[in-house]
Amino acid sequence: MKKINAAVILLGLSLCAPAVYADITLQAKDEVNGSWKLDHTKKNAASEENLMREDTWNFKDGKVTILHIPRDGVFYDQPPVNYEVEDGKLKISILGRPDKYDVYSLVEKNDKNMTLKGKFGDLYFFNKK
């Protein structure tokens, strides 16, 4: 009987625990090349709320262009900025501040999907266009 109780408790804990995302080391810029539609974001791995997104990130020749960014009921496109891979992480220059970067870790990537994690734990879920 004690074994069954222990199994039920462990099962209950495993269902309540948030998903853990392990980082994958990026080797080169080419790994993210292409056009990626940002489907949604989450504040962190434990968050149940998905924030729907409509922008597209185009990675090509060391530059990333973010298109169709929603802002106050209208959409705009961001001019291209440089990106690089350093220490296995994706570093994207901040527009107008070339010495500052947003840093992302690769959580998951296959032919159709990619998940990035920002430096504060926010998750970005992309679909390949």
- What domains can be seen in the chain, in order of their start residue? 34-128 (2.40.128.280)
> What is the per-residue pLDDT for 70?
86
Lowest mean per-residue pLDDT among 59-63, 68-72, 91-95: 68-72
Average pLDDT across the chain, whole number:
87
| Three-state SS at 89 | strand
> What is the per-residue pLDDT for 39?
96
Nearest CA among 61, 67, 103 for reference residue 82:
61
pLDDT band at 3 (very low <50, low <70, confident <90, very high): low
Distance (Å, whole) CA 121 – CA 45? 8
**pTM of this structure:** 0.80
